[in-house]
Amino acid sequence: MHTLDRLPMNNKVELLKQIPIFSSLSEDHSLELASIAVEKTYRKNQVIFDQGDPGSSLIILKSGLVKISLVDSNDHEFIIKTLGENDFFGEMSLLDGGRRSASATAVEDTRVLIVYRDDFVHLLKKNPGVALHLLTALTQRLRMTTDNITNLTFFDAYGKVARCLLDLAEKGGRKEAEGIVLDVKLSRQELANMAGLTRETFARILKEFQVRGCLVTRGKQIVILNKKILTNEVRLNMG
């Protein structure tokens, strides 16, 4: 059994309760989970694990940002998803005993809680509610993967950039008088890797959207001025 102890126990219990898959845990079981979760910090750009590594832990994000990505032999990266506070990852190897299906890297300084397989399975057996929440989360991930396949297969470059920006807006966009502000933490190269485009193509289309009055960029920040244009780009691609 693994113990942790930089975070006071009450904080850990509170944190775990905010995570949807653990929301149905009783007070006793939350305390039990908090006592077995190990706390760890990763620095910006630090690799948490690589695709193909053996893995037997579930990782819960306490703060920070993590990218889940695939990298080919030429170092081309495709970002499947970014995860923030209260998200979790690593459940696939933990559940099926296979190797890590993708790489996980801290995009900024990140703090996590780690739960190991035996402890998690023990908890699952006693808490069918956790299993149900986990199934719901896995189903949502499958749905998102289907959306990703649609994006990569059917969308032209405009649709891919539009979809990427709309996803960012949905996840963390801030509504202000001017428009929807995206405080983008990823580099432009990483955004392109998320959209499945080269950096040059991504930058060219971002510029075109800017000329059309759809958005403005300020450093890494992007402000969507006209969401309708982006939505129409996605619709056009769907025929």
Q: Which of 67, 81, 133, 163 binds ligand CMP (CB under 6 A)?
A: 81
- Applying the rule CB under 6 A, the residues between 122 and 141 that interact with ligand CMP are 141
Tokens 């025929």 sit on residue: 239
Q: How far is the CB of 172 from ligand CMP (least distance, A)?
A: 17
Contact (CB, 8 A) for 165 and 182: yes
- Name residue 36's amino acid: I
Nearer to ligand CMP, 87 or 108 (CB): 87
Nearer to ligand CMP, 21 or 36 (CB): 21
Q: How far is the CB of 235 from ligand CMP (least distance, A)?
A: 24
d(Cα 217, Cα 206) in Å, to the nearest integer?
Answer: 9
- Applying the rule CB under 6 A, the residues between 96 and 125 that interact with ligand CMP are 100-102, 104
Q: Does the footprint of ligand CMP cover residue 89 (CB under 6 A)?
A: yes
Q: Does the footprint of ligand CMP cover residue 55 (CB under 6 A)?
A: yes
d(Cα 124, Cα 209) in Å, to the nearest integer?
Answer: 48
Residues near ligand CMP (CB under 6 A), total: 16
Q: How far is the CB of 107 from ligand CMP (least distance, A)?
A: 14
β pairing state of 215-218 and 57-63: unpaired
Q: Does the footprint of ligand CMP cover residue 196 (CB under 6 A)?
A: no
Q: Does the footprint of ligand CMP cover residue 11 (CB under 6 A)?
A: no
Nearer to ligand CMP, 100 or 160 (CB): 100
Nearer to ligand CMP, 97 or 213 (CB): 97
* 139 phi-psi bin (left φ>0, alpha ψ -120 to 50, beta other): alpha
Nearer to ligand CMP, 67 or 158 (CB): 67
Q: Which residues of this chain interact with ligand CMP, rule CB under 6 A?
A: 55, 68, 80-81, 89-93, 100-102, 104, 141, 144-145
